[in-house]
Structures are given as C-alpha cells and as structure tokens.
A and B are shown apart, each in its own frame.
Chain A
C-alpha cells in the first residue's frame, strides 16, 4: 500500500467510476433527495458515513469468515441483513450521542438501510482490485467506501443545483419532473465519462 495506490483508488471512486454516474447505483435516492440543496448535502453526509462503515464491516466479514469457509456464494444473502442492522444500529448510536446531527440526517437512515449504492460500494471493496496484488486491503476498502460516499455527495449536490435551476426554467410540459431530471443525469454521466482519461493517463 503506497500513496500512489491510494490516490488511484480515491480518484477512481470519486470521479472515474463514480458510484452514481459511473456505476449507476443509488439512482432512486439521488432523484428523491436532490430537490433541495440542503437535503442533498445531508443525505450525502449520511451516505458517506454509512458507506464507509459498511465497506469496513463487509471487508472483515468477507475476508475472515466467508473466504475461509469458502462460502463466497453467500455474500449477498449475508450482506443485505448485515448492512440493514448496521445502518439502523448506527442510527440509534447517532441519536444517542449526537442528537442534533441525527435530527438532520436521521430521516435518511431507513432509506440507506436497503440501498444498492451502499452494498455496491461494499462489494467493490471486496472484489478484484484493478491494481496489482489481487484484492483491496482493509484500509483501501475503507477509503474506497468513504470516497464512493463523497462521490455520491458530489453528484447529489450538482444535481440539486440543476434541479433548483430547472424549477425556474420553462420546461416542456411532457418533460417536467422526472424525465428532465433523468436527462440531466444522463448528460452529467457523459461529462463524468471524460474522467476516464485520468485512468488512461495513470497507466
């Protein structure tokens, strides 16, 4: 593990293979919470916390329980209830120790308990690494989860800015609401596709 690897993982998770625009995970919360900038920011923060925690737990469970038992085929069946329990428990902990913060982001925890972006970030963290040495290490997996969450935060903030502007724009009647939001997300995904040059340059 060196600085170069970490930078590459960070860049990949944040921009090149952005969890929303590169891998197309977590699209439903993206459109529902990005109506307002404040909601997008707080949901992004909640998602970052949850993704980091679940990436770490999933890596430990996979590497130290499932791989020794040669039971990797059970990954999804084990991870879904684990993440749900983890998210709800961390929600309770947050409520107990940081009530003011919980009042802002607590609403989103049930949304994150069964979310494809959260389990997706965890599965990427235990999957084959694009770098030398096979899989991610524990720290690399945690960094991948954290930056996937930040990537979600980035996209939902950009999306909120667009949706707020869209409200003041004369959109054709048939395109109002979800259709135009989906088209904007698609155009943004095209723009994010340009970051692929980073990974090409790194090679």
Chain B
C-alpha cells in the first residue's frame, strides 16, 4: 500500500512537472522579453489606475507600444523614466494632471425647472428627463463621479455641484468617464484657473437661467489676445494650457464670473526704488493699476492689481515683484510674455 501510494503520487508529480515545463517552454515562447523587465519596474499592486486589471497586462501593452510608459499613476515620474529607458527611448516628462468640473451653477446660481426625485445617480437622471435644472450642461450633482473616485477627492458641495479637491486628486481620470455630461476634464496641475461652464447655448438664453453661465461675450479672448490661449469653439471659450498664459486677466475680466480660480488670494505687484519711471509698465497693465509720471517711481494701486504678472516682463530694471497674497514673496517670478 505504501509502495502504491508513493508510486502514484510520484508519477502524478512527475507528469504535472513535465507537462508544465513543456507547455511553458514550447507554448509560451513568443513572450516579448521586455515585458518582464517592465513588469519588474511597476509597483505590482494591480491597482487598475492605468485602466488595466493587472500590472502584467499594462507591461505587455507598453512593450507592444500600445500604452504610454507614463500610464502608471502610483509609479509616477520615476517609473515612467525607468520604463522609457528599458524601451530604449529618451525619457519623457510626464505632466501631473488633476480633474476639474466645468460647472459652478449650483442651487444659488442656476434656475430649477422641475424637481428630480428618482434614483440618486447622474446617469439615471439623464435617462429620465435630464435632471432638475433648466441648463442642459449643468452638473447634475447626484455624485456619479464621487462614487467612482477611489481617493475621496470629489464631493458634492452644499451648493449642489461636484467639486474636486486638488490635494487628493491623482489625475487618474475615472471621474472623466463617469460624468454623463462630460463636464470633468483633466488639466495640468500647475494651472489653477479653469472655465466653470460648459454651456454652448446662445448667450441671451444662458443669462436667463444661470447667474454664472458663459454668454460667449468674448471678453476673455480679448484679455488673452497676446498669447492667443483662449479661442471660441462651439460657442464656448476653450483654454489652451499649452500656451504661455496664466488666465488671471481673463478670469478677472469675465463679466459672468464663469472662471474658477483655485487660489484664494493672488499676490499683488509691488514696485521698489529701483524704478526709473520709464512708464513701460503703465500701458501693459490690463486693469490700469499702475500710475506714475515719467522719470519718477511708479505706484501700484493694490485695490486694482489682480496679480497677473504681465508688468514683470516689461520692466527693464527688475523693479517689480509680486508680494503677499499667498504668504510668500515671489520676487522675480518669471511670467514673461514675450
């Protein structure tokens, strides 16, 4: 009996081992050798941030050139650089992104036409009468994006619209896909200003039902004329974050206050004693905050200054600096336009 047991178990182990080694050598030979090297660089937590169920799937797609090396969110920039070096390409910089909601018309601003009392889900509301607001591009405020966010970075505010907490957002983009009205977009993290409206309706109509809706007046386009970073497309301004523009002037001049500035208080410009009174900064100021006579030190009206930093670029003696607001001095901050 012992002999039979040992014989049977031994043969089973032998057969199993031979079958597995044969199958893995003969059948699995076509594996790209880069895949294993890439997989070793990945965190291996199978978090799904890249949109694939396993780190191995992501590694295979990168090796096939069907996925970008920077796709690994928890790995971040360091992993991206190592993967690109394995792939034999020059390392690329990956820009950190964050999600923003293109709507700021909540209970206080937007007019209600009916009350939606169905399933508390944005997709359900879209299927049954498109929510409770007149505006058909407004945030439904039922939190479909809140439920897909694995970091708890989105919440529906007391005003009834979704808002992203930039400190918690990792830019994974799940909420972008979850919004049935496509109101969520990933923008470069360094930019703090975005348009809080996505309404393509005629301007006169928009102002009837939303206090902060974009009327497509074109003032923001004019305010950023020098960089041409804003253009009207499909009746709504589009912000081009690849251009050299900080959108502070556009956000300030918008008559409907559609823009959202994540910075609570902007710094103000200060002109120090190095100023020789050349008057170059006076005409460039978009809010006419600088005044002064030729050959005398100029003065900034701190009430008017919005901290856009345009004047820093034209001062030839570097007498202008941004002070306060954020709590630190950003002297010589490079915001040159030309």
Q: Is the CB of A93 within 8 A of B27?
A: yes
The residue in chain B whose Cβ has the minimal distance to the Cβ of A81 is: B16
A82 to B22 Cα, complex, angstroms: 15
Residues of A within 8 A of B27 (CB): 89, 92-93, 95-96
Q: How many residues of B are counted as interface, with CB atoms below 8 angstroms from the partner's CB atoms?
A: 23
User: Which are the 4 A-B pairs with shortest beta-carbon distances?
Assistant: A85-B16, A89-B23, A92-B23, A96-B27
Q: Is the CB of B12 within 8 A of A78?
A: yes
Q: Main SS of chain A's interface residues?
A: helix
Asked whether any CB of chain A lies closer than 8 Å to the CB of B30, the reply is yes
Give the contacts of B1-36 with A (CB-CB under 8 A): 4-5, 8-9, 12-13, 15-17, 19-20, 22-24, 27-28, 30
Least distance between B124 CB and chain A CB atoms (Å): 7
Asked whether any CB of chain B lies closer than 8 Å to the CB of A69, the reply is yes
Contact indicator per residue, chain A 107-121, by CB within 8 Å of chain B (1) or not (0): 100000000000000
Q: Is the CB of B8 within 8 A of A71?
A: yes
Given contacts A71-B5, A96-B27, contact A81 B13 (CB under 8 A): yes
Contact indicator per residue, chain B 47-82, by CB within 8 Å of chain A (1) or not (0): 000000110010000000000000000000000000
Q: Is the CB of A78 within 8 A of B9?
A: yes
Q: How many residues of A are counted as interface, with CB atoms below 8 angstroms from the partner's CB atoms?
A: 22
Q: Is the CB of A92 within 8 A of B124?
A: no
22 contacts between A and B (CB under 8 A): A65-B8, A66-B8, A71-B4, A71-B5, A77-B9, A78-B8, A78-B9, A81-B16, A84-B16, A85-B16, A85-B20, A86-B19, A88-B20, A89-B23, A89-B27, A92-B23, A92-B24, A93-B27, A95-B28, A96-B28, A107-B53, A107-B57
Least distance between A143 CB and chain B CB atoms (Å): 25
A168 to B119 Cα, complex, angstroms: 7
